[in-house]
Structure 1
Amino acid sequence: MNPLDYLITAPRLRHRFGGISDMTLWRWLRDPRLQFPKPLVVNGRRYWWLRDLEEWEAAQRLPDRGPNTS
């Protein structure tokens, strides 16, 4: 199984992003500009696909602008 095919829980997700609070996660989910991945809800618990989070993280990185020429 591909390691990116795993689901992670909300506590693990918050830890992954530097220990953000549940309120911060709530805000990220409701801000359409961020396009944060939506969770899969099972029995009232939220889970995220690791591959979706990795894709979102990659999209947040700014493109390399090369060496500073100023």
Structure 2
Amino acid sequence: MTKQPNNLTDKPQIAATIWVNADEIASRFGVSRNTIWRWARTPENEFPDPVRLTPRVTRWRLADIERFEEIRSVALAA
């Protein structure tokens, strides 16, 4: 019989995820919080989609933000 996960810590990929908010991302890029939300709404930017964790809490996965940075830096270097 397989054990069913009974909470979030039973799933390593979820427990190991680092979440960041719009203020932290804005600080990282040196832009305003509104700019982060604008990037998230504009598909051409290829900015990662936010994840709604609860009705009042929305965050981004740090790994997605780092991947976005990497893709942008390669595109700008070309």
What's the TM-score, normalizing by structure 1? 0.71
Paired letter, 1:22: R
The RMSD of aligned alpha carbons is: 2.2
Number of residue pairs the alignment of both structures matches: 62
CA 63–11 in structure 1, closer or farther in 2 if over 3 Å, else same: closer
**Largest Rg, 1 or 2:** 2
Larger helix proportion of the pair: 2
1:41 correspondence with 2:27: no
Q: Which runs of 4+ in 1 moved over 6 A?
A: none
Structure 2 portions without partners, runs of 5+: 1-11
> Percent of pairs identical after alignment?
31
User: Larger relative contact order (C-alpha < 8 A, sep ≥ 6)?
Assistant: 1
What's the TM-score, normalizing by structure 2? 0.65
